[in-house]
Amino acid sequence: MASGSVHGYITMQVNRDTAVSLYQQIADALTRQIEEGAFAASGKLPSEHALMERFQVSRVTVRQAIDCLLRDGHVVKKQGKGTFVKTQKVQHDLHTLRGFYDALIEQGIEPRTRLLEFSSVTPPPAIRKLFGDVDGPFFRMKRVYMVDEAPIALAWAYLPPEAARVSWEQADIKPVYSILEHVLDIRVTRANVRIRVQQAGAEIGKALGFAPSAPVLVMERESFDVHGAVKEQTTFYIRPDRYEFTLSSYGPLPIGSSIREVNEQTKEKRADPARAVPAGRSHRAAAEPPKKE
Q: What φ, ψ does residue 151 adopt, rounded to 5°? A: -65, 135
Who contacts 101 (Cβ-Cβ below 8 Å, separation ≥6)?
A: 111, 113, 145, 175
What is the rounded distance in angstroms from the CA atom of residue 78 to the CA atom of residue 38?
Answer: 19
Mean pLDDT score, 7-32: 81
In sequence order, the β-bridge partners of residue 92 are 245
Does residue 163 surpass a pLDDT of 50?
A: yes
Q: Give pLDDT, residue 248.
A: 76
| Core vs surface per residue 248-282: b (16+ CB within 10 A) or e | eeeeeeeeeeeeeeeeeeeeeeeeeeeeeeeeeee
Q: Give pLDDT, residue 115.
A: 97
Does residue 1 surpass a pLDDT of 70?
A: no
What is the rounded distance in angstroms from the CA atom of residue 160 to the CA atom of residue 14?
Answer: 63
Q: Are the C-beta atoms of 236 and 100 separated by less than 8 Å?
A: yes
Chain segment 48-66, per-residue pLDDT in tens = 999 999 999 999 999 999 9
Task: Please choose, from the candidates 19, 36, 22, the residue with its C-alpha nearest in 3D space to the C-alpha of residue 68.
Answer: 22
Does residue 285 surpass a pLDDT of 60?
A: no
Q: Give pLDDT, residue 97.
A: 81
Q: What φ, ψ does residue 139 adopt, rounded to 5°? A: -125, 130
Q: Are the C-beta atoms of 93 and 246 separated by less than 8 Å?
A: yes
Kindly indicate the confidence band of residue 8, based on its pLDDT and cuts at 50, 70 and 90: very low
What is the rounded distance in angstroms from the CA atom of residue 210 to the CA atom of residue 241?
Answer: 11
Task: Please choose, from the candidates 253, 268, 190, the residue with its C-alpha nearest in 3D space to the C-alpha of residue 227.
Answer: 190
Does residue 219 surpass a pLDDT of 70?
A: yes
Mean pLDDT score, 151-161: 95
Does residue 10 surpass a pLDDT of 50?
A: no
Does residue 246 surpass a pLDDT of 90?
A: no
Residue 72 vs residue 224, higher pLDDT: 224
Mean pLDDT of the chain: 84
Chain segment 38-48, per-residue pLDDT in tens = 876 567 899 99
Q: Give pLDDT, residue 289.
A: 53
Q: Which of 104-113, 140-149, 156-165, 179-188 has the lowest mean pLDDT?
A: 104-113
Write down the CATH number for the domain with range 3-85: 1.10.10.10
Q: Where are the domains of the chain?
A: 3-85, 90-246
Write down the CATH number for the domain with range 90-246: 3.40.1410.10
Q: What is the DSSP string of 211-257?
A: -TTSEEEEEEEEEE-TTS-EEEEEEEEE-TTTEEEE-------THHH
Q: Give pLDDT, residue 164.
A: 96
Q: Give pLDDT, residue 230.
A: 97
Task: Please choose, from the candidates 36, 123, 16, 52, the residue with its C-alpha nearest in 3D space to the C-alpha of residue 85.
Answer: 36
Residue 218: exposure state from Cβ atoms within 10 A (0-12, 13-18, ≥19): middle
Q: Which of 85-99, 138-152, 172-186, 228-242 has the lowest mean pLDDT?
A: 85-99
Cis, bond preceding 252 (omega within 30 deg of 0): yes
Q: Do domains 3-85 and 90-246 have the same CATH topology?
A: no
Chain segment 104-124, per-residue pLDDT in tens = 887 777 889 999 999 999 999
